[in-house]
Structure 1
């Protein structure tokens, strides 16, 4: 292993590879900060440019795009409540309220420091346990994936900042939306009133509508409201100190993010939701989550960036992508004549070890750009609300169109923007809806597959060891807020 690392260091520290690395970080920042342009889309758009490149610069550039885009998606989430990617929606829960209080600089610096810490911890875990963790992920069948989805949905109890009943209404609305489209098992149509709905409601345009476009309506409604003055943006050293009180949250959230990321298909969105829910559940100030608690940003950003390394573990060891972006990376490897899997470490060890080195070398570059850029990005909050609303609406529609190059996605964004605004007026937060949209398909499809395997015996499904543990954890997560409130009384 040491010899491979030394070889990879020599390969990465060349002008050609370092230029590719820096370019990947900068492109990743741009892609992640644009609502609708996910890291997978950015990587896919750049694959044609890697045709004439050597394998290591090409792969290093794609990996650093992946890493930087997952962080920078939190920038618009904090500043204008417009998550650049689905996982950043959780960052907006507390990041945007902090921005409204004039603490956008503090929120941005905390987010980049937490992201860097999560990426560092998960990178070390990736190096030490990639093959072991990938093998463990193979133990997950339909029953285990169903139980994992139940754990995610059980977070409704801790994500509901206000009325639990309203949170359940939001959750049920999201689950109903997920049923639109083709039945995942039988292949029959469900609520398909137009052929454009065959694939269901597209997730990213719906997310942009619920968060960004609904916020546009709120901005226009409060156009004459006085702009909150920006408080002092902390320096880099002050940001290190600001993160210190949350070191336990950083470590815990990074572990959650890495382990969830290793499970193929789970992804950074689920990692962020679970980490946020756990942080809120364990916090002595639960009621402040969703109103601008810095710990919420730390939990979300640590987890979703740690999930990047987690998704790379099954890709490199088994050739199984842990996320959509990892699947695009497989395409990039294949184009270079490389086959991900166990033989990659035997036949081309320079590739995985160059990826490991690139993660660690790209990390400080990403953090430095984030810290120095925060002073520039917070100036967005000085722009008058009507102008910001116009810009956010335009970018939201552009991002929705870019998701599939079709005007249907723009219509979905507009409709869900109105729905999101109405729900806000009814004091129903978008978080439970996002929870349902993320986990609904996973819950239904895997439950039905598990039932088929178990001859329609639900008890057999629950009797699987991993499933039983996850269901017990879901019950604990669900009842703990009620027990906490009873204890407080």
Structure 2
């Protein structure tokens, strides 16, 4: 009964005209920018973060959450129509979605992605509402040692679950940790790694790195592609809704993807991405029906399952953020940044000190998902037309918008130059095949890890055994060590490489 009371409070907050408006604005903006090739939810939220400064905290977070879902829906649209994943978790959708589009079945593919995402989003939000309160009770038992151990587990999880080379993922994490050390030391007040540059004494701005690496980096990468390689469908999409047979095929795939995504989304480090790959792998192992299209040639299950999984995973990834204050992926790291901007300390105290924000955000997720289905299905034709806008008009506008956004955060031209520098660094990551998301996680978690490590050592008078003598801390560190051992086993290592191969 308590859950229903909380949800009624949440819907009371979410259904106010101003919050409904910002939820709608977030959904539209997210879909609009998510639909553009190479710009996923991380870049979208990074670009639009400055726009939330003047808003009330609840409205700001509801809008950002709307942008998140909108960008996810948009990501699947580009994956299906132009074989360009709008975000990393839409990579798998390209395999069958693009083949369906080439066969003139773009409508059913987009509808399957939209409806699957809506169902998965609703289930994921229900799980979040049900499991967040008990997890919050557990979070109050966490001290500095436990938080340090949990963040260590989170970073190792990010390395293990990052696509591609383990060595590159570790390098990204370490680079993020090092960038997080730039600025003023919390304990001594001494500037470190600032190279006598006054602007660096406050540290490198979170928005600067996010916009540079994800926004500008992706833009430069897209401009590097020859124009003739960008195939765009300008013909109208006929037959929007899937057939009866399509519904029969996709329903079990959506259910499997939803429950797999809900479980894997909670894991630290790319849960939604792993969920999409795992759901696709699971569908390939299911028995094929007579006359069913083969995977890789336009099977609707290959679109419905990963899209459901990544949406369910994106909803349940709010659980560690809202209950423990730990961002499990790059988008949640941006949400931490947004909460900090509004003087809200992410963690277990949010539910007790700010219940309107906590439950209002959860309730807005249902409303946002419903808005997206209503918005996206009738507007598929418009999104296709938007994809025909020449890149030479599109990208200068995005670059200008980023520059204005980052300048407005501190009214400082230094930040604009820094975004440009990180844009070049982001492009070099793309060329080197490095996944930049672990860098952002390392950057966010680094200062928090350092603070909790030093606090734990201060309380234990310099005794390092505090991390293994406290049961919760020891258990989390043991899980981290176990994760490293398992991933280093040759059989697991080979399976992991197979799982992340894009067919």
In structure 2, C-alpha distance between the alignment counterparts of 1:2 and 1:422, rounded to whole Å: 51
1:305 to 309, 315, 328: 315
How do 1:454-465 and structure 2 match up within 5 A?
454-465=460-471
**Which residue of structure 1 lines up, in the alignment, with residue 403 of structure 2?**
397
> Is contact 1:206–1:413 with CA below 8 Å preserved after alignment?
yes
**Which residue of structure 1 lines up, in the alignment, with residue 38 of structure 2?**
none
**Which residue of structure 2 lines up, in the alignment, with residue 179 of structure 1?**
181
How far apart are 1:133 and its partner, in Å? 3.0
**Which residue of structure 1 lines up, in the alignment, with residue 209 of structure 2?**
206
How do 1:279-428 and structure 2 match up within 5 A?
284=281, 298-308=308-318, 323=336, 360-428=366-434
Cα RMSD between the aligned structures? 4.8
How far apart are 1:5 and its partner, in Å? 5.7
In structure 2, C-alpha distance between the alignment counterparts of 1:313 and 1:429, rounded to whole Å: 27
2:486 to 476, 480, 486: 480
Deviates most, 163-172 or 39-48: 39-48
How far apart are 1:210 and its partner, in Å? 1.3
> Is contact 1:451–1:461 with CA below 8 Å preserved after alignment?
no
> Is contact 1:43–1:328 with CA below 8 Å preserved after alignment?
no
Q: Which runs of 5+ in 2 are unaligned?
A: 34-42, 80-84, 283-301, 326-334, 499-503
In structure 2, do the counterparts of structure 1 residues 252 and 406 end up closer, same or farther at CA, with 3 Å as the change threshold? farther
How do 1:31-430 and structure 2 match up within 5 A?
32=30, 33=33, 35=44, 44-47=53-56, 64-74=62-72, 92-95=87-90, 103=98, 116-117=118-119, 119-125=121-127, 127-128=129-130, 131-193=133-195, 194-230=197-233, 235=240, 242=250, 244-245=252-253, 247-254=255-262, 273-277=270-274, 284=281, 298-308=308-318, 323=336, 360-430=366-436
- TM-score normalised according to structure 1 size: 0.69
In structure 2, C-alpha distance between the alignment counterparts of 1:354 and 1:422, rounded to whole Å: 40
How far apart are 1:221 and its partner, in Å? 2.4
In structure 2, do the counterparts of structure 1 residues 468 and 393 end up closer, same or farther at CA, with 3 Å as the change threshold? same
Q: Which runs of 5+ in 1 are unaligned?
A: 49-58, 82-89, 261-269, 286-292, 316-321, 332-338
> Is contact 2:119–2:308 with CA below 8 Å preserved after alignment?
no
In structure 2, do the counterparts of structure 1 residues 164 and 131 end up closer, same or farther at CA, with 3 Å as the change threshold? closer
**Which residue of structure 1 lines up, in the alignment, with residue 299 of structure 2?**
none
**Which residue of structure 2 lines up, in the alignment, with residue 266 of structure 1?**
none
In structure 1, C-alpha distance between the alignment counterparts of 2:435 and 2:28, rounded to whole Å: 28
In structure 2, do the counterparts of structure 1 residues 62 and 169 end up closer, same or farther at CA, with 3 Å as the change threshold? closer
**Which residue of structure 1 lines up, in the alignment, with residue 454 of structure 2?**
448
How far apart are 1:254 and its partner, in Å? 3.2
How far apart are 1:181 and its partner, in Å? 1.0
